[in-house]
Amino acid sequence: MKELCISIELDPVKDGISFGSAEVTRPDAHAVIIGTNGQVKQISMSEAVGVINALDKCGSAFTLGSSDYSVIYNKTKVFMADLQDYLVGSVLIMHYDPDNGSLSPVYDMEIGELMELFEAQLDTLRSGDVSFAALRIG
């Protein structure tokens, strides 16, 4: 069985595409995982659904700054320092539309802006002689 078949014979009546069971995505559209250590990983929207499902009972979210980026994280990993909630680790980031409650992908051209907003939400914390970046929650 063919997953994807494209037929273009310059016949508008017959030309077209057959997807079979193939997933169709834009190659520049992703969900983004960012770590507080600065690492970035782009994942497919179907992988993002898997992460969201895995965080079903322990996940939470907040909006990054005044943007429409939703930061989805594991709330069991949150700790308090100086009366502020923080997280060290990684988070899933996607666009959030509050009008219909939907999540949508982040496009390649937005990664720079997203990183700036994310980095503005980081603080440097210290425990003993160890300093590390932590994400302010909320």
Answer whether residue 24 is part of any domain. Answer: no
Average pLDDT over residues 67-82: 96
Backbone angles phi, psi at 106, to 5 degrees: -100, 135
> Could you report the per-residue pLDDT of 104-132, keeping only the tens digit for each?
999 999 999 999 999 999 999 999 999 99
Answer whether residue 21 is part of any domain. Answer: no
Answer whether residue 97 is part of any domain. Answer: yes
Answer whether residue 41 is part of any domain. Answer: yes
Chain position carrying tokens 């594991």: 74
Answer whether residue 83 is part of any domain. Answer: yes
d(CA 137, CA 14): 54
Residues 6+ positions from 12 with CB-CB distance below 8 Å? none
pTM flag (> 0.75): yes
Q: Which residues of 8-42 are buried (b: 16+ CB within 10 A; e: fewer)?
A: eeeeeeeeeeeeeeeeeeeeeebbbbbebeeeeee
The fraction of the chain above a pLDDT of 90, given in percent, is 71
Answer whether residue 8 is part of any domain. Answer: no
Query: Residue 129 sits in which domain range?
Result: 30-136
Give start and end residues of each alpha helix (H) in the chain. Answer: 45-54, 111-120
DSSP letter at 108 equals G
pLDDT at res. 1: 44
Q: Into how many domains does the chain fold?
A: 1
Residue 7 has pLDDT above 90, yes or no: no
Helix (H, G, I), strand (E, B) or coil at 54: helix
21 pLDDT band (50/70/90 cuts)?
low
Answer whether residue 131 is part of any domain. Answer: yes
Answer whether residue 22 is part of any domain. Answer: no
